[in-house]
Amino acid sequence: MHRGRSRSPFLIAAALVAGCAGHRPPAVRPAPAARAPSTAPPPAAAHAPTPGSPAEHAYLASLELMVPVAGVRPSQLRDSYDEPRGGGRTHRAIDILAPRGTPVLSVDDGRVLRLRRSSLGGITIYAVDAGDHYVYYYAHLDHYAASLAEGKTVAKGEVIGYVGTTGNAPANVPHLHFQLMRRPNAARWWDGPPIDPTPFLVLPGRPVDLDRPNAASARRAERSGPARSGAGRRGAY
């Protein structure tokens, strides 16, 4: 949970269950394992690790993913991956609550794959890791960072957007919906099998000094930005 909220955790959880819902195939959740911190970037794997294998867990752990919301520590995360959602669905992602406009950070070094808008995810980002094996999905953004574009290389901790309530998020519960997916098929980048990201988010979201246009200007910039609606809406919730 994020500081600055006075609403009841029960009411907030109920609102998220009602509003932040979608469809995903069943997923394999790798079990967390103890490891020593690494200061060297992990080598890109030539081939994707076998799903659910110790090798996959080791690869994801070696990435040392950053919590994708500025100022949020791993200990503040609430794992909502297995929570039920509307229509008999399961969340298959985590929600990170934060004040509207809080910077959203890239969890890893990689590349922006697609910028999309949909009725479910609202303003969204699909990015891939440096090995091109996993997709990072960020949803319900208020707007994008001004420099963000499809194909852009991003660094871990770089500001890529801002927390909001677009799509089917409850209007009074700004949060980031974050999902980690395998990318077994490049043609279906929005629809890979999900993995619980919580055990792998080990670095705190770095603090960011807000130095951006006012909210009205930011919204105007977002509306004229590069995002397009279309393929990818099935992956948003």
Whether residue 132 lies inside any domain: the answer is yes
For 85-140, the pLDDT digits (tens) are 666 666 578 999 999 999 999 999 999 999 999 998 999 999 999 999 999 999 99
Whether residue 196 lies inside any domain: the answer is yes
For 169-224, the pLDDT digits (tens) are 999 999 999 999 998 777 777 788 889 999 999 999 999 987 554 343 344 444 43
Average pLDDT over residues 10-23: 50
Strand partners for 129: 110
Answer yes or no: pTM beyond 0.85: no
Residues 6+ apart with CB under 8 A from 12: 5, 97, 173
Q: Is 198 helix (H, G, I), strand (E, B) or coil?
A: helix
Domains of the chain: total: 1
Whether residue 178 lies inside any domain: the answer is yes
Residues 6+ apart with CB under 8 A from 190: 114, 116, 126, 135, 137, 231, 232, 233, 234, 235, 236
Whether residue 189 lies inside any domain: the answer is yes
Question: Can you give the residue range of the structural domain that contains 221?
Answer: 9-23+52-235
Whether residue 3 lies inside any domain: the answer is no
CA neighbor of 177 nearest in space, from 69, 52, 66, 15: 69
The CATH number that applies at residue 201 is: 2.70.70.10
Whether residue 56 lies inside any domain: the answer is yes
Whether residue 42 lies inside any domain: the answer is no
